[in-house]
Chain A
Amino acid sequence: KNEVEQSPQNLTAQEGEFITINCSYSVGISALHWLQQHPGGGIVSLFMLSSGKKKHGRLIATINIQEKHSSLHITASHPRDSAVYICAAINTDKLIFGTGTRLQVFP
């Protein structure tokens, strides 16, 4: 069993839909990252959070430390949101990555 699990693995949506991607972890963490990887391969850090909730534009990330669970929400999804979303647990000196969620948003 992976230390960081994401669901779903693949997600398709129509433009405008509300998207939720889930991440559960079994290791102790100091914080959790949500990353976005576009088809070209580049990785962008979206959020780093250790408690509560963060919002940036149409993106919202939440974390529940007691339940060892985090969610990434995308409101009013758009085709440009199509990418792989990866959660990564910060465990001491390294990131432990989930397997990623491939999101496709169709117009």
Chain B
Amino acid sequence: DSGVTQTPKHLITATGQRVTLRCSPRSGDLSVYWYQQSLDQGLQFLIQYYNGEERAKGNILERFSAQQFPDLHSELNLSSLELGDSALYFCASSVLQGYGYTFGSGTRLTVV
């Protein structure tokens, strides 16, 4: 157990639907990062939050949004899902920006 908890582990949903992925960072870590890993794109940075505030944005689609709550857990919301959104979604946390990343085990999303 890395200390970063992601739920659910697997998710199967239909096109056009909306899902929410959840991440609880390692105790004491203030930064949460979301990454997408698809077969043809490798790992891509989506978005980072630090202590509740958005800190950096990567290749995140407008249909996707995220937030970090006061208890530091984070949620990634994916809407109007398309087949191409099928991927592994990883969350990582770190105590300081750019220092000591810990990854969760990922959520495997399948859009059918």
Q: Which of B44, B48, B106 contacts A41 (CB under 8 A)?
A: B106
A67 at the interface (CB under 8 A from B): no
A12 at the interface (CB under 8 A from B): no
With contacts A94-B48, A95-B45 known, is A41 near B98, CB below 8 A?
A: no
Shortest CB-to-CB span from A15 to chain B, Å, is 28
Secondary structure call for the B interface: strand
Q: Quick one: CB contact mask for B79-112 with A, threshold 8 Å, 1 for yes?
A: 0000000001010100001111111011010000
Give the number of residue pairs across the A-B interface with Cβ within 8 Å. Answer: 53
Question: Using a Cβ–Cβ cut-off of 8 Å, how many residues does chain B contribute to the interface with A?
Answer: 24
Q: Which of A30, A43, A90, A94 contacts B106 (CB under 8 A)?
A: A43
Question: Using a Cβ–Cβ cut-off of 8 Å, how many residues does chain A contribute to the interface with B?
Answer: 21
A66 at the interface (CB under 8 A from B): no
- The complex places the Cα of A94 from the Cα of B48 at a distance, in Å, of 8
Q: Which of B92, B98, B105 contacts A93 (CB under 8 A)?
A: B98
- The complex places the Cα of A94 from the Cα of B50 at a distance, in Å, of 12
B interface vs A, CB < 8 Å?
2, 33, 35, 42-45, 48, 55-56, 58, 88, 90, 92, 97-103, 105-106, 108
